[in-house]
Amino acid sequence: MNRKLKAKIVEEFGTQADFAQVMNLDEGVISRVVRGRRVLSPEDAAKWASVLGCDRSVMEKEMDQTGREHSGCSLKAGDVS
């Protein structure tokens, strides 16, 4: 999940549904992009960034130090009982 993108959408529009309406897209499209199941074209990423008032880098999947995609959760061994 792209938590930065999700947070920016909620910050600017309140909900993904409201953002979808402004972008004239189905809510499912927004959801798939946020969850990393759909990649935006460079043109669409630029449009989203413009509407959200952020850099296109927010549209990119989050990666860990090894270059693997991650959810942003920093749970370590021993953190769960």
* CA–CA gap between residue 68 and residue 62 (Å, rounded): 8
Q: pTM of the prediction?
A: 0.74
In a domain? residue 68: no
Owning domain of residue 11: 3-59
The pLDDT of residue 31? 97
Helix axes 3-13, 42-52, angle to 10 degrees: 40
pLDDT in tens, 4-55: 999 999 999 999 999 999 999 999 999 999 999 999 999 999 999 999 999 9
Q: Which of 8, 67, 64 is nearest to 33 (CA)?
A: 8
The pLDDT of residue 71? 40
Q: How confident is the model at residue 77 (pLDDT cuts 50, 70, 90)?
A: very low
In a domain? residue 72: no
The pLDDT of residue 62? 58
In Å, what is the CA distance from 45 to each residue of 36, 60, 81?
A: 13, 9, 41
Helix axes 16-23, 27-34, angle to 10 degrees: 120
* CA–CA gap between residue 68 and residue 16 (Å, rounded): 26
pLDDT in tens, 42-58: 999 999 999 999 999 88
Looking at the structure of the chain, the number of domains it has is: 1
